[in-house]
Structure 1
Amino acid sequence: MIRVLVVDDQEVVARAHRTFVDRVPGFTTVSIARDGAAALERIRRGGVDLVLLDLTMPGMSGLDVCRTLQTYPEPPDVIMVTAARDLESVRTAVRHGVVHYLIKPFTFAALRGKLDVYASYRAAAAGQRDVTDQGEIDAALAALRGSSEASLPKGMSRETLSAVRSALIAAPEGLTALQAADVVGTSRVTARRYLEHLVAGGGCEREPVYGRAGRPELRYRLRPAT
């Protein structure tokens, strides 16, 4: 479970962000901090993997928090959230170790896409598992670098692909297209398209499931590490 600290000086916004985070499988909000000093104090106590950090706050700004975190031996990662839209703010945030940048207001789908990719990147970087395919590495690095999604086939989104990967990771026994669709919240046809994309990239394998009359159903699962 990836432990998240939500930092925002507006109580309503902070609670909304907490609700978003807690809806994403594999993530949980451990606390809310209303200013930079409180955020640093909570981080010093340990048990924080990722900070969802507001840029503009009274007193200590989000960038000030990031500068201080760079002096810590094992600082958590940071996703900056802000209404600031100037590129200089983005560049400054990246220079201070921010792994991603979200413009307020953002949707649950936008945040989930970033968190899903972050989870895949974190797991691979920590050696907890092999990445599913080259596309997963590209997706993770693209998200962290702010690259485009041009490498995906037309009509496919990075967020949905990440959600399908997460569903497969959570189901080592494998999923049918219908089961994947139920988990991700899309149609069976769409889920199958993404699953077949992962098969083509070597990230997962498919096998027929017999037992019912008629055409066998296909089950998809992550390809085992070799």
Structure 2
Amino acid sequence: MIRVLVVEDEPVAAEAHRVYVERLPGFSVAGVVHSGGDALRFCEREPVDLVLLDFYLPDTHGLAVCRSLRAAGLPIDVIAVTSARDLGLVKAAVSVGVVQYLLKPFTFATLREKLERYTEFRDASGEVTGQAEIDRALGALRTTEQPPLPKGMSVQTLEAITDALSGAAEGLSAGAAASAIGASRVTARRYLEYLADNGMAHREPHYGQVGRPEVWYRLTRV
């Protein structure tokens, strides 16, 4: 059983991560904490195999947590769970031992694949007979190519919609999202529906003074 510590400062996201991990066979949640300091103290006193680590914490940065784990000699792996898209940060994460990098928002299926590949890597043991076996072991950590977006949709527009939702705690209507990214209402609704259909956003009815309720979309905080 792989014991996982969830480190996330947002209570809703922390609970979502906990539920996701507990749905996977072979994994158990060792604990849930909301700061870097609490994460380090937990790892020093409790057995932990893997940390799901949010990088933006109220008391420190995730990179500092990783460095402290290494300095303490704790044999704990880390999967970064963050919205940060800076390649410089990704490289820094690799340099301090992060084995996987998971971008928010994500679906349960995405996390499941990351953890399944981590399990495959972790379970590899014994001596290898050549370079090919080493490559296969390291390749277990690589995510398979994601399925392409539906025809006519672009990664850039999807990220723009996601960023707009991230900055709107109460959610956005298709019209408001369209204004935020400079696109048509039809285009914005298509991307919002894609996010909702894939579990990365959810729909909420908003009632005005007259007529039918308008559908708003709010990012799923995981």
What TM-score does the superposition give when structure 1 sets the normalisation length?
Answer: 0.58
CA contact (8 A) 1:100 1:143 kept: no
Partner of 1:142: 139
Structure 1 pair 140–17 and aligned structure 2 pair: CA distance change class (3 A)? farther
Matched, 1:27 2:24: no
1:14: which partner in 2? 14
Aligned to 2:4: 4
Matched, 1:97 2:97: yes
1:181 is aligned to none
Partner of 1:66: 66
Residue 150 of structure 2 aligns with which residue? Answer: none
> Aligned residue pairs: how many?
144
Aligned CA-pair RMSD: 2.6
TM-score, length-normalised on structure 2?
Answer: 0.59
| Alpha-carbon separation, structure 2, partners of 1:117 and 1:136 | 16
Kindly provide the amino acid, as one letter, of the partner of residue 141 in structure 1: L
Q: Give, in whole Å, the separation in 1 of the partners of 2:123 and 2:51.
A: 17
Give 1:117 shift: 1.0
4+ residue runs over 6 A deviation:
134-137
C-alpha deviation, 1:120, in angstroms: 1.3
Equivalent pair of 2:117/2:143 in contact (CA under 8 Å):
no
Residue 137 of structure 1, CA deviation: 6.7
Q: Which residue of 1 aligns with 2:123?
A: 123
CA–CA distance in structure 2, aligned partners of residues 136 and 19 of structure 1? 34
Matches within 5 A, 1:208-223: none
**Are the equivalent residues in 2 in contact too, given 1:117–1:139 (CA < 8 A)?**
no
Larger RCO: 1 or 2 (CA < 8 Å, sep 6+): 2
Deviation, 1:61, is: 1.1
Q: Quote the residue 1:37 is aligned against.
A: 37
Structure 2 gap segments, 5+ residues each: 147-222
Q: SS in structure 1 opposite 2:48?
A: coil
Question: Which structure 1 residue ranges, 5 or more long, are not aligned?
Answer: 151-226
The answer as to whether partners of 2:24 and 2:112 remain within 8 angstroms in 1 is: yes
Instruction: Report SS of the residue matched to 1:70.
Output: helix
What CA distance in whole angstroms lies between the structure 2 residues aligned with 1:48 and 1:40?
11
